[in-house]
Amino acid sequence: MRHVYSGKVRDVYELDADRLLFVTSDRISAFDVVMAEPIPDKGRVLTAVTAFWASELAGVAPNHIVEVGVPAGADLAEVGLDAAYAEGRSMVVRKADMIPIECIVRGYLSGSAWAEYKRSSTMHGQSLPAGLRQSEKLPEPVFTPSTKATSGHDQNISFEEATGIVGGKVASAAREIALEAYKLGSVRAAERGIIIADTKFELGFIDGELAICDEILTPDSSRFWPASQWEPGTVPPSFDKQPLRDWLEATGWDKAPPPPALPPEVVQSTRARYVDAYERLTGLSFDEWPNGGQRSRPPSEARGA
């Protein structure tokens, strides 16, 4: 095994020519800056949520998951990974040739789409009906891709611009998979009282077929709202990191590193929100997830040592 990549959240190791070990850390980023403090168990929650959706959405498209968990015989120590740390946050995936766009689907008008609509009555360059309010349900879910910036912020783009990046055939196939996955996910989430306002999929080619990769419908990649608290014209409380973003904004931070230190109560409430999102979405108990019930961990583990 060898370490090949660390993103803002995931540490990626190569197992062999076809397979990667994805280890999801407890790092949390906001405004594309990684906070200094980890959110305990966050990586386990993201792994658990992704595993749940991978099986729910199996009929929509192939996905990159080979096996959830650390593969038998993997020498974690070789890459400096602690076995207890890796437990519950690891999955073996197929290496994919990732397409260089983010496959966002929006069912509700929020975030950067709301900001653009207020400015120009458009969403990713497409015009929308007049008079929509913040958080309003869109007439139809819309595929609203963005660039996948290698550094800095991703840019919202139109479908035509996506076509220019990946070609018309791939853009259309990606749109179809992303919309189907969003729609099915939304139906499942609605059964549990949750609205998926928007989400981001990352797709890649595996054996010549477009597959759902990366994380799937997690609180990091999605805006989840409790359906009972959704009201157009307001911003529903979300399970995602919006409360963290709000806290950061209130500090007056300029969004350039280093970020302000997160107080323990912000860390704890963020952890609780992630766990709550998992349990509400799946109806499962996080205590039952590998190492999920453990509340305190040695500091070495929190750092991902």
Ligand X SMILES: Nc1ncnc2c1ncn2[C@@H]1O[C@H](COP(=O)(O)OP(=O)(O)OP(=O)(O)O)[C@@H](O)[C@H]1O
Residues in contact with ligand X by the rule CB under 6 A: 7-10, 12, 20, 64, 93-96, 98, 202, 204, 213-214
Q: What are phi and psi of 217, to 5 degrees?
A: 45, 50
Residue number with the smallest Cβ distance to ligand X: 7
Closest to ligand X by CB, 109 vs 241, is: 241
Residue 246: which residues within 8 A CB-CB, separation 6 or more? none
Q: Which amino acid is at 107?
A: G
Considering the complex, what minimum distance in angstroms separates the CB of residue 95 from ligand X? 5
Contact indicator for 24, 10 with CB cutoff of 8 Å:
yes
Beta bridge partners of 2: 14
Considering the complex, what minimum distance in angstroms separates the CB of residue 54 from ligand X? 12
Closest to ligand X by CB, 13 vs 159, is: 13
Considering the complex, what minimum distance in angstroms separates the CB of residue 28 from ligand X? 11
Considering the complex, what minimum distance in angstroms separates the CB of residue 19 from ligand X? 9
Closest to ligand X by CB, 8 vs 169, is: 8
Q: What are phi and psi of 166, to 5 degrees?
A: -115, -5
Helix, strand, or coil (residue 222): strand
Considering the complex, what minimum distance in angstroms separates the CB of residue 212 from ligand X? 9
- CA–CA gap between residue 212 and residue 94 (Å, rounded): 11
Closest to ligand X by CB, 206 vs 248, is: 206
Closest to ligand X by CB, 46 vs 189, is: 46
DSSP assignment string, 180-220: HHHHHHHHHHHHTTEEEEEEEEEEEEETTEEEEES--S-TT
